[in-house]
Structures are given as C-alpha cells and as structure tokens.
Amino acid sequence: MKLAAWVAMALLVADQASKLWVRTQMFPGESFEVLGRYFQIFFIENNGMAFGLEWGGRFGKLMLTSFRLVAVVGLGYYFRRMIQSGQTTQAGTVALALIWSGACGNIIDSLFYGPLFGYETFMHGRVVDMLYFPLYQGFLPSWLPIWGGEYWVFFRPVFNLADAAISVGVGMSMLFYNRLFVTLPKEEQPLA
C-alpha cells in the first residue's frame, strides 16, 4: 500500500501543479513549443469526456462528474482490496495506482476548478489539457481509401498527465496482465 500511495501522491502533485501552472499562466488556445513543432504545451479546457465528447448540457456534466466520482471511489476500494490481498506484484500495484490517481486528478478539475477560477459552479469544472504531440502533419496520399487527399495530424489529441497515467496503467494491465496480477486460489480470495 505504501508503494501505491507514493505513486498516487507523486502523480497527483505533478498533475495538479502542471494544470495550475498552465491555467494561471496561459490563455485557452495559447501554445508554445517545447521540442520544436513535435511537442507543444497547448492549453485547452475539456468540458466533457475523452476527446471532448459532451452530452446533456449542465445536467449531463453533473451526471458525468457524479459517475466519475462514484467510479473513483469504487476503483479505489477494489484496487485497495487487490493490493492488500496480494493479488498484485509491485508493477501491478504501480499500474493500479496510475489508473486511480489519474482518475482522481481529472476529478479534482471537474469538482473544483469551476468555483476556484470563477467560471462555473461545483461539479461543473473543465479539465485542463496541455500536452500536444503533432508528430506528423500533412496531406495523406490520394490513393488511400476513405481519407485519401485529406489533411491529417498524428497525434491530434491534447491531454494531461492524468490522462497519460490512466493510459499507461491500463496499457500495462492489458499487455502484461499475467505478470502483474496474481489469481489467488478460491479459498484464499477475500470476502466481498
């Protein structure tokens, strides 16, 4: 549990520090290059879910934030049980801590950034995104089906440290499941 707590705390501090710096030092839509045009800090605010998807206006945002809050509490409880019962290796513990702390980082934005920065009420805040990696920009060859001749950017999404942590944790869990997690015999599994 100490390892999970350290990973989660380190990520939450780094995530919130980077978001607060961007939110207080930049205007939405403002950017600057870090490694040429291939890595930029590009400040946007996401009012919805992944890739900016939104639904249901203010009520939808309230429901989304409520769902996220319940999911983070549920995942925290489930991950804690897995770690305490010995169902994870150290790397598995890190993967779970990345997922949980990344989700918490984005929840903090949704819960508190609206009233903190004076643009919205509690539970209606926008998530701050800033990491942008446009590795390729140009027109695709015209012979390609469907997208041929269209202008294309790879990697278009703008994200934050919390999103990256969730992606890394989920990726680790999917790719190395058998190495990260231990299936206990039925008699050793904890009761619900």
Would you state the structure tokens that stand for residue 179, as one six-digit string? 């190495």
Nearest to 134 by CA among 152, 120, 117: 152
Q: What's the chain look like in SS3?
A: CHHHHHHHHHHHHHHHHHHHHHHHHCCCCCEEECECECCEEEEEEECCCHHHCCCCHHHHHHHHHHHHHHHHHHHHHHHHHHHHCCCECHHHHHHHHHHHHHHHHHHHHHHHHHHHHCCCCCCCCCEEEEEECCCEEEECCCCCCCCCCCEEEECCCEECHHHHHHHHHHHHHHHCHHHHECCCCHHHCCCC
**CB distance 12 to 105 below 8 Å:** yes
**Residues with a known catalytic role:** 129, 163
